Structure 1
Amino acid sequence: MTPLADIDQITNPPRRVQRLRPVVDSVLDGLEPVINLYRPYVDGLENLPRDGRFLLVGNHTQGSGEVVLIPYFVRREIGTRVRPLAVSTIRYTPGLLGDALAAYGAVVGHPDTARELMRNNETILVFPGGGREMSKFKGEEHTLLWNGRAGFARVSVESDYPIVPVALVGGDDVYKSVFTRDSVVGRFSTSVMKRVTGKPDMGLPVTRGIGPTMVPRPQRMYLRFGPPIDTTKPPRRNHDSWVSDVKARTQEALEQSLAELLDIRRNDPYRQLNPFAWRNATLPDAG
């Protein structure tokens, strides 16, 4: 399979990208007041391996807050830069925006790029659900839409790379989908996106924010980093069977974290971050 990115540029980016890194880092550091304003609930940071050698496997949401929150809290906790495996279209992102994404750490989501990052013991982030999981229809909130994808498990097993499952609740409530996937509107949207993208599982749901508008609904984010999953294959264990087992264990851990975070949120009186209650919006009890 032909790689979708210049492998050498993953660990040795152009000088212009290297010059942008301090700027991007400063911007990320400057996000702290904004993130604190939303009082995110975060637990499990003690589960992050201190050497930074692990693959974060997360769930995508409609609000996409996980793309910022996960790298932010990992960097703050252990000081490593997270390398998100992004959609292949970033390969064609021109100019300053493309350089900024590279300085942020994003690379094309492809097995070859993941292997290269693992050879260099980097901290990697992947969302197996991809774009389909970001475009959820009504009733699909807080679920994993992986469609059987197990590439992350296969590459991790090949490299004996630990997996840290990371779950986010709240992002699917920033915007609400109006129709289900099997509705007339949902089927039409999926059909159109199939013709446009060539992918049969993509759709473009009709969403709304506050009321009928696209103003995002204020929601507290609930983030959990689970215990690392060892991917080292036991002796005499069939390779494909072990890959399936690692994928299943990761999915089960994420689904369990999502369920537990939903329970925590259910008992949180400040989950919707009413502006008049911000000053008193204490963090919920994990117990």
Structure 2
Amino acid sequence: MAATGAYLFPSGSSPICGREVMTSSGGKLKSNRIPYLIRRFAVSSEQQAPATTATTTKKTSLLENGNGWLEKRGGDNDRPVLEAENNLVEEESCVTSLNDYFEQSKEFIKSDGGPPRWFSPLDCGSRLNNSPLLLFLPGIDGIGLGLILHHQNLGRIFDIWCLHIPVKDRTSFTGLVKLVERTIRSENYRSPNSPIYLVGESLGGCLALAVAARNPDIDLVLILSNPATSFSKSPLQLLTPILEATPSQFSLSFPLVTAGDPLRMILDRVMKGLPLQKTVGELSQHLGTMSSYLSGLADILPRETLLWKLHMLHQASAYVNSRLHAVKAEILLLSSGKDQFFPSQQEGERLHHLLPKCELRRFDDNGHFLLLESGFDLVTIIKATSYYRRAKYHDYVSDYMPPTPDEFKNVKESYRWVNIAMSPVMLSTLEDGKTVRGLAGIPSEGPVLFVGYHTLLGLELGPLVSKIYTERDILVRGMAHPMMLVKHKKGKLPELPMYDTFRLMGAVPVSATNFFKVFSSKSHVLLYPGGMREALHRKGEEYKLFWPEQSEFVRMAARFGAKIIPFGVVGEDDIGEVVFDYDDLMKIPYFRNDIETLANESVNLRANSNGEVSNQDPHLPGILPKFPGRFYYYFGKPIETEGRKQELRDRQKSHELYLHVKSEVKRCIAYLKEKRESDPYRNLLPRLLYQATHGLESEVPTFEI
């Protein structure tokens, strides 16, 4: 079974990046610029290969020694790893452009031959411990470089293998299915407690679904980019009779295909952000590049190969659609709105409805080649959808990865105009009780528990988290309502994509287990005891706390010696006023039915509580917008629980501390309501005038402390 064998290309075609390799006689072999390691051949059942078993596979790698020789190293039965400490190769520069895809594709197919096989990009970098295996299944091109813009980022968290299907290879679709199937079975045998990721685009999406349907007992996570399951509705069908009627000496294959989406993508890259005076010159320069692209695409998909792949697409679509009922894998479906090859958005909706464990993300402005388009980051999508895990179940603490600077920059940008319009005022309290402007009073080291008031619709949350992260480099992990992170039923609740930013910034479903985990990791944690009841309050209930009688968070904080920081927020009444609340909505049958449906779909976290705090039915109140005011945040003096673990096990003692925290939150709110009256910049117009003279991003003054 070749999928588990250990084979290497001859040294002359060895994928050492950008180096000239010396032979034993001192002669030079041709330099090969493809930065990839061919892991092993993986041939289909239709071709012969030396027999091996999963238990006899050797770890094999290419290593360049001091003399420039290539050596083959064997090891134990583990998979080959490409980590920095193994010194397999020196890291080369990051591949970041579409041009690299075409350049390296040309190099890949220069001496192409043999059966389909797996390779691993050497530019993936050092990855996390116990990183799961990711198998990339290419689209119609078959090259396997479709993740080239994502190799480095993916390589930090996955062990990446890419499937390469040579241009002249004629392995059938079922042959490819069996090839991938043997690989996942072998790797599942090797690491039974780790998931295997299948990332498939177009044809590769069909391949991933087919493998999942045949192997429901294996823990697979599928990430599908515009899968070709809708080939029966695709304009690509029209190419087959045209190509069959075209004389073999004419190469009309990819110029026909590239008349739309790829050229649009190239032009977008060329034109985006260019100054007007440079447009003509740059365009002229890149027209030659586009001509080179078309030539390269014709080499990747010559007429005979394209005909073969079109027939394969037809077979693959029919094969998968007849087996969708058998797919039990976890699936993240990525659908483009401007796919000129397939009706991907409509198909995405159909698959989302049919597949039980499927999440859908739409990209309205992207085309078919989503993974090769600028501005799309696959790792960010995986993180923001909580699809990254290294064990059987996703762990919101051990599997979480903080946002990168670029990711946070995008998050911050989404709140930019909110911050400009609201000019939030941040006050904190030092250990000696002194109130200062800014966030100097927040402890740098965790565990820390922020406990506060949830304003109308939770509008205070974005500025709070982004300001603390920007000014103190502290990531606050919010304890969120489960309906924001997990949807158990498909119904009327808000779609999960609305909350992707929350996941990216570390939101955790509120539960005792997750509380324990985040405190164990010494995190800064955000808790709103009033929860949804405060965020969806009634008319006239501004700044009123709805806290449960239980004081569990106090004992949990004391168990880890966490500092508790009570805080208050005001300003919601300067932004909007509730004019149609829950009580009004429940009097109207139409709205009452909707609220009851939403309540049945969501989890009631306070079902066992008494009083108003238990009334947390999801709904959207009618709000009358006001002339934008200003948000004010006040973080009180940190309350120590270190050394009080035994004392606070006593329910009465813990309840006393609970009431103290609650009174401090009320005090912070009262302080802000009083002090904002003397703020000369409380209203929008004075702030705009100040920003017009000092810059939009400038910090607007406030009241005297």
AA aligned to 2:632 is Y
**Quick check: 227-236 or 132-141, which moved more?**
227-236
Shift of 1:257: 0.5
CA-to-aligned-CA distance 1:92-143 (integer Å, 9 cap, x gap): 2587666543221111011111110111101111111111110111221012
* Residue identity opposite 1:124 in structure 2: V
Q: CA deviation at 1:60?
A: 0.7
Match of 1:280 in 2: 690
Gaps of 5+ in 2: 1-392, 429-438, 488-494, 605-613, 692-699
For 1:88 and 1:115, how far apart are their aligned partners in 2? Answer: 16
Aligned equivalent of 1:3:
none
TM-score, with length taken from structure 1: 0.80
Go from structure 1 to structure 2 and tell me whether the alpha carbon gap of 1:235 and 1:9 turns closer, same or farther (over 3 Å shift).
closer
Structure 2 CA distance, aligned partners of 1:239 and 1:56? 22
In the alignment, which of 224, 236, 243 is matched to residue 634 of structure 2? Answer: 224
**In the aligned structure 2, how far is the partner of 1:65 from the partner of 1:74?**
16
Distance 1:167 1:194 in 2: 32
- Superposed, which structure 2 residues align to 1:1-287 within 5 Å? 6=393, 8-13=395-400, 18=401, 21-30=404-413, 33-34=416-417, 35-44=419-428, 45-92=439-486, 100-178=501-579, 185=584, 188=587, 193=595, 196-197=598-599, 200-202=614-616, 204=619, 206-210=621-625, 217-232=627-642, 233=644, 239-274=650-685, 278-280=688-690, 282-287=700-705
Q: Say if 1:137 and 1:32 are closer, same or farther in 2 by CA, change over 3 A.
A: closer
User: Which deviations, in whole Å up to 9, do the C-alpha atoms of 1:210-263 show, x marking residues without a partner?
Assistant: 3xxxxx641200011111111242765652122212211111111000000000
Higher mean displacement: 254-263 or 160-169: 160-169
How far residue 63 of structure 1 moved from its aligned partner, in angstroms, is 4.5
Q: In 2, distance between residues paired with 1:159 and 1:111?
A: 14
| Contact map agreement 2:518 2:525 (CA 8 A) in 1 | yes
How many positions carry a matched residue from both structures?
271
Letter in 2 for 1:267: S
What secondary structure does 1:178 align onto?
A: strand
Match for 2:672: what amino acid? Answer: L
User: Is the 2:446–2:562 contact (alpha carbons within 8 Å) kept by the matching residues of 1?
Assistant: no
**Using a 3 Å threshold, how does the CA distance of structure 1 residues 151 and 268 change in structure 2: closer, same or farther?**
same
Describe the superposition over 1:173-230 as per-residue Cα deviations: whole angstroms up to 9, x where unpaired.
422112677xx627648976467526551364743333xxxxx641200011111111
Q: In 2 relative to 1, CA 277–8 (structure 1 residues): closer, same or farther, beyond 3 Å? A: closer
Task: Tell me, in whole angstroms, the C-alpha distance in 2 between the residues paired with 1:98 and 1:63.
Answer: 14
User: Match for 1:85: what amino acid?
Assistant: M
Give me the whole-angstrom Cα distance separating, in 2, the residues matched to 1:142 and 1:10: 32
Following the alignment from structure 2 to structure 1, what is the Cα–Cα distance between the partners of residues 688 and 520?
A: 45
Unaligned 5+ segments in structure 1 are: 1-5, 211-215
Take 2:638 and 2:455, find their aligned partners in 1: how far apart are those partners?
Answer: 22
The one-letter code of the counterpart of 1:42 is M
Cα distance 1:173–1:151, how it changes in 2: closer, same or farther (>3 A)?
A: farther
Aligned 8 A contact 1:60 1:129 in 2: yes
- Structure 1 runs of 4+ with >6 Å offset: 189-192
1:285–1:112 CA distance, 2 compared to 1 (3 A)? same
Separation of aligned partners in 1, 2:399 and 2:645: 34
State the alpha-carbon separation in 2 of the partners of residues 188 and 220 from structure 1.
Answer: 34
User: Which letter does structure 2 place at the counterpart of 1:228?
Assistant: P
Contact 2:563 2:641 in 1 (8 A): yes
The letter of the residue matching 1:8 is D
Give the AA of the match of 1:59: Y
On the 8 A contact 2:454/2:534 being kept in 1, the answer is yes
Shift of 1:157: 2.1
Which SS does the other structure have where 2:395 is aligned?
helix
Query: What is the letter of the counterpart of residue 175 of structure 1?
Result: G
Instruction: Decide whether the 8 Å contact of 1:21 with 1:103 is kept in 2.
Output: no
Q: In 2 relative to 1, CA 63–269 (structure 1 residues): closer, same or farther, beyond 3 Å?
A: farther
Of structures 1 and 2, the one scoring higher in RCO (CA 8 A, sep 6+) is 1
Q: Classify the secondary structure of the residue corresponding to 2:456.
A: coil
Post-superposition Cα deviations, 1:47-98, rounded to whole Å, max 9, x if no partner, equal: 2112143011121111423211221222123212111111011342587666
3-state SS of 2:469 partner: helix
Q: Which amino acid aligns with 1:24?
A: E
Q: Which has the larger radius of gyration?
A: 2
Residue 31 of structure 1: CA displacement? 5.7
Secondary structure (helix, strand or coil) at the match of 1:10 reads: coil
The normalised TM-score by structure 2 is 0.35
SS in structure 2 of the partner of residue 125 of structure 1 = strand
